[in-house]
Amino acid sequence: MDAVDRALLDVLRADARVSVRELAAQVGVSRASAYSRLARLRASGVIRGFTVDIDPTALGLGLPAYVHVRIKQNTWKTFREKAWALEEAVHVALVAGDFDCVLLVRCRDAEHLRSLVLEKVQALPEVLATQTVLVFEEHSG
């Protein structure tokens, strides 16, 4: 991967729907070069897909939070499946540290978050403890 590939990825991060012609123009390469580089980046797995950036607040899910979860030993796979099945879960990760897993969830309000953590997450048999961290402001790149 070289500087041109990284420039292609930067343009795609900003707008995944950009045409190959516009992508080539912004990066300063020919359309054929941009097309072959995109094909190579996809084939090698660098580009896994193209997605839409949805504003969760516009969907009524304006309260993000991280739920740190301590689980019983050897229950990661079953916990992961159950956690990922929660409609509020945006990201589920196995981590190192005081807790075993971190869930990024998006809720309508504090009552929705309370219900999610106390009635759904803590009710899972794999869960030993939780700690919830509210997100006041977020930025992604």
Query: What is the model's pLDDT at position 141?
Result: 64
Is residue 69 in a domain? yes
Cα separation, 107 vs 80, in Å, equals 19
Write the pLDDT tens digit of every residue in 85-137.
999 999 999 999 999 999 999 999 999 999 999 999 999 999 999 999 999 99
Domain count, the chain: 2
Is residue 11 in a domain? yes
- What lies within 8 Å, CB to CB, of 82 at 6+ separation is 124, 126
Write the pLDDT tens digit of every residue in 56-89.
899 999 999 999 999 999 999 999 999 999 999 9
Residues 77 and 23 in one domain: no
Residues 9 and 67 in one domain: no
Using alpha carbons, select from 116, 122, 82 the residue that is nearest to residue 134: 116
Write the pLDDT tens digit of every residue in 24-56.
999 999 999 999 999 999 999 999 998 888 888
Residues 23 and 67 in one domain: no
Tell me the Cα Rg of the chain. Answer: 20
What is the span of the domain harbouring residue 35? Answer: 3-43
Is residue 117 in a domain? yes
CATH code of the domain in which 89 resides: 3.30.70.920
